[in-house]
């Protein structure tokens, strides 16, 4: 791992369940609270997604901190909402920056040095967006590019803005229409195996959000994903097999 890099791992539930079958000790890494919260979901897929996301979070945290993966269960995770002070919101780990997101059967976890706050988001592209999406999500001067899939373009904006507000811990306390995604002039034509810093956040009314950097992440269809960071560090993809090889 490049210590100064942002790393991310995207996986589906099927792959995570297979790894749990091959390495049953991994299931013991989840805390009693995480196991209890997972069991509250009615659908087996949702339970598996929650467990998988938090397991990957702990493994990526251990990798970032340079500790043995078998000690990932001892890592202290805390949550504190910056809006209400409640025990929810962005998960925090001493000595590292991490963020997680899940959508249906896909999960993504990103990690960075402690000095670089990050936020990550992944969403499955639906057949259509909800009524009023543009009024809620698009900023006053934002327009969709000509051509392409308009639903996918809208979801791309959504994950970029979600990643940004997760970086600062604001969440949707800041309306998505308050911030705009501004493409960089030298935006690459494609997405690298890691990610390219293709845009920035413009949010004059929110100083912490204004000028955050955005990288689109390479992920399987029908998903879109993005990571946000105050620093333009190198973005590197990590595979589950690579992660467990340690």
- Three-state secondary structure of the chain: CCCCCEEEEEEEHHHHHHHHHHCHHHHHHCCHHHHHHHHCCCCHHHHHHHHHHHHHHHHHHHHHHCCCHHHHHHCCCEECCCCCCCCCCCEEECCEEEEEEEECCEEEEEEECCCCCEEEEEEECCCCCCCCHHHHHCCCCCCCCCCCCHHHHHHHHHHHHHHHHHHHCCHHHCCHHHCEEEECCCCCCCCCCCEEEEEEEECCCCCCCCCCEEEEECCCCCEEEEEEECCCCCEEECCHHHHHCC
Flag whether 122 is in a domain.
Answer: yes
Flag whether 109 is in a domain.
Answer: yes
The CATH code of the domain that includes 96 is: 3.90.470.20
Instruction: Report, as an integer, the average pLDDT of 53-82.
Output: 89
Q: What does pLDDT average to over the chain?
A: 89
Q: Given a cut of 60, is residue 75 above it in pLDDT?
A: yes
Identify whether the C-beta of residue 137 lies closer than 8 Å to the C-beta of residue 98. Answer: no
Domain that holds residue 122: 6-244
Q: Given a cut of 90, is residue 205 above it in pLDDT?
A: yes
Flag whether 152 is in a domain.
Answer: yes
Q: Given a cut of 60, is residue 188 above it in pLDDT?
A: no
Q: Is 148 exposed, middle or buried (0-12, 13-18, 19+ CB in 10 A)?
A: exposed
CA 13 to chain centroid, in Å, comes to 16
Q: Given a cut of 80, is residue 195 above it in pLDDT?
A: no
Instruction: Report, as an integer, the average pLDDT of 169-192.
Output: 82
CB atoms within 10 A of CB 151: 15
Q: How many domains does the chain have?
A: 1
Flag whether 207 is in a domain.
Answer: yes
Instruction: Report, as an integer, the average pLDDT of 83-109.
Output: 84
The token pair at 231 is 């620093």
Confidence of residue 90 (pLDDT cuts 50, 70, 90): confident
Higher pLDDT, 246 or 76: 76
Flag whether 1 is in a domain.
Answer: no
Percentage of the chain with pLDDT > 70? Answer: 91
Flag whether 116 is in a domain.
Answer: yes
Instruction: Report, as an integer, the average pLDDT of 12-16.
Output: 90
Flag whether 142 is in a domain.
Answer: yes
pTM across the whole model: 0.91
Flag whether 97 is in a domain.
Answer: yes
Q: Given a cut of 70, is residue 191 above it in pLDDT?
A: no
């Amino acid at each position: 791992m490049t210590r100064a890099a942002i790393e991310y791992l995207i996986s589906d539930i099927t792959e995570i369940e297979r790894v749990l079958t091959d390495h049953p000790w991994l299931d013991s890494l989840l805390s009693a609270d995480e196991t209890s919260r997972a069991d509250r979901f009615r659908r087996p897929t949702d339970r598996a997604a929650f467990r998988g996301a938090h397991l990957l979070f702990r493994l990526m945290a251990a990798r970032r901190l340079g500790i043995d993966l078998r000690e990932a269960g001892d890592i202290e995770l805390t949550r504190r909402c910056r809006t209400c002070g409640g025990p929810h919101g962005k998960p925090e780990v001493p000595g590292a920056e991490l963020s997680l997101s899940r959508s249906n059967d896909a999960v993504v976890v990103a990690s960075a040095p402690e000095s670089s706050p990050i936020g990550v988001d992944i969403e499955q592209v639906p057949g259509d967006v909800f009524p009023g999406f543009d009024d809620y999500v698009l900023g006053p001067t934002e327009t969709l590019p000509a051509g392409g899939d308009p639903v996918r373009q809208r979801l791309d904006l959504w994950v970029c803005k979600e990643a940004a507000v997760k970086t600062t811990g604001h969440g949707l306390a800041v309306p998505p229409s308050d911030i705009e995604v501004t493409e960089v002039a030298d935006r690459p034509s494609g997405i690298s195996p890691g990610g390219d810093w293709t845009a920035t956040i413009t949010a004059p009314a929110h100083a912490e959000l204004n000028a955050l950097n955005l990288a689109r992440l390479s992920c399987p269809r029908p998903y879109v994903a993005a990571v946000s960071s105050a620093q333009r560090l190198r973005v590197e993809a990590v595979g589950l097999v690579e992660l467990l090889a340690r």
